[in-house]
Amino acid sequence: MKILIVDDERYIRESLKEILDFEGHTTAEAADGKEGLEAAMTGNFDAIFCDIKMPVMDGQEMLAKLVENGVDTPVIMISGHGTIEDVVKCIKMGAYDYIEKPLNDLNRILITLKNATDKTNLVKETKILRKKVEKVAGVPEIVGESEPIVRIKAMIDRVAATDARVLITGSNGTGKELVARWLHEKSNRNTMPFVEVNCAAIPGELIESELFGHVKGSFSGAIKDHKGKFEQADGGTLFLDEIGDMSLSAQAKVLRVLQENKITRVGSDKDINVKVRVVAATNKNLLEEISKGNFREDLYHRLSVIVIHVPALLERKEDIPLLVNHFINQICAEGGMPIRNIEPDAIEELKKHSWTGNIRELRNVTERLIILSNQTITKEDVVMYASPLFR
């Protein structure tokens, strides 16, 4: 572990350093609170030993500054000339524990250090788990203040409460699924299922079974009755992603469901009533697909009561700073890492990229920069690491 020792008495620093170095830790020293604060803000320490009474800036003031700046490194106060009231005040301010001078009890020092770091690790793990649970349970925000994003948010607010079908268009990686999720989240169906189907990922011969279900024995491998996605989404929202890749035969059956609100499982002749809001998305120009005979015009008009176009990242470059900072906070929190800073020049360098992979590519690049850069992401880091081939 990396440990900071802050004390104005040199022999105290040297005694602690000798003990901790012997135990295999790495140590750094500071002779007063001001030096200690500067080191603690930049050094990414696992623990800090800090004297209460010091010149320039005392331990209480240093502790207060650390808390104020969100530094969660455990601080163990060293009490020599301080009173019990001073010690209690430090504990209330956020210090983990205190050790009295002279530092003669080796076991006390090492046990206190172990307990402090164990607690910090537990807190970090809890934060990571909480973030992961929130990620699963909640819907990520739509990040951006550009004019296209403001329009999309306004459209979602206006359309979500209705049952109107929505067609979401845009390139891969722009965030079409996120728009669909917010349409569901802000609707009166938000307590019911949101079911997603990637039409491009399901083989053509299985798409009908996946959407409408099947009965036992209807085909080889159908060993029991199976509910399709329309039934699973009953009362909620069905998101048909990449609907431009759906086969014409499946399109015809989807059109029937939209017209009659009924489905028939594969291998059955029994109709099942369903009440589902359908939201579809595509990265293709469906009007061109219609002219080529690849997509049904009547289905297109059924799906496109409302059309929401999600712009490519190049059309909303002014959102890049917000997105990058959002991803930095998100990725560091999920990984239990200190939050990285990013220089303005680095942001400007990111704006120069083509971003053919859109938001998805920007997030991947941000994660790469976090892993490969130091505490602050610089323009040089972006030049070196933003390309997947690493220049």
Residue with tokens 């469906």: 286
Mean pLDDT score across all residues of the chain: 90
Alpha-carbon separation of residue 331 from 132, 320, 328, 353, 363 (angstroms): 11, 16, 5, 21, 9
Torsion of CA 275, 279, 282, 287, to 10 degrees: 80
pLDDT at position 356 over 50? yes
| Count of structural domains within the chain | 3
Concatenating the DSSP letter of every residue in 339-358 gives PPEE-HHHHHHHHTS--TTH
pLDDT at position 44 over 90? no
My answer on whether 177 and 85 are in the same domain is no
Mean pLDDT within 259-278: 92
My answer on whether 238 and 341 are in the same domain is no
Q: Is residue 390 part of a domain?
A: no
My answer on whether 23 and 123 are in the same domain is yes
Q: Is residue 142 part of a domain?
A: no
My answer on whether 228 and 361 are in the same domain is no
Q: Considering the entire predicted model, what is its pTM? A: 0.65
My answer on whether 122 and 258 are in the same domain is no
Domain termination site, one of 294, 311, 328: 311
Domain termination site, one of 74, 104, 135: 135
pLDDT tens string 111-170: 999 998 887 777 766 655 655 544 444 678 899 999 999 999 999 999 999 999 999 999
pLDDT at 391: 46
Q: Is residue 108 part of a domain?
A: yes
pLDDT at 151: 96
pLDDT at 127: 58
pLDDT at 388: 65
CATH number of the domain enclosing 298: 3.40.50.300
My answer on whether 14 and 109 are in the same domain is yes
pLDDT at position 5 over 90? yes
My answer on whether 297 and 360 are in the same domain is no
Domain termination site, one of 92, 108, 135: 135
CATH number of the domain enclosing 26: 3.40.50.2300
My answer on whether 110 and 19 are in the same domain is yes
Q: Is residue 62 within 8 Å of residue 49, measured between CB atoms? A: no
My answer on whether 254 and 276 are in the same domain is yes
**Residues spanned by the domain of 287:** 147-311
pLDDT at 35: 93
CATH number of the domain enclosing 351: 1.10.8.60
Q: Can you tell me the distance from the alpha carbon of 92 to that of 99, in angstroms, rounded to the nearest whole number?
A: 16
My answer on whether 307 and 324 are in the same domain is no
pLDDT at 138: 65
pLDDT at 245: 93
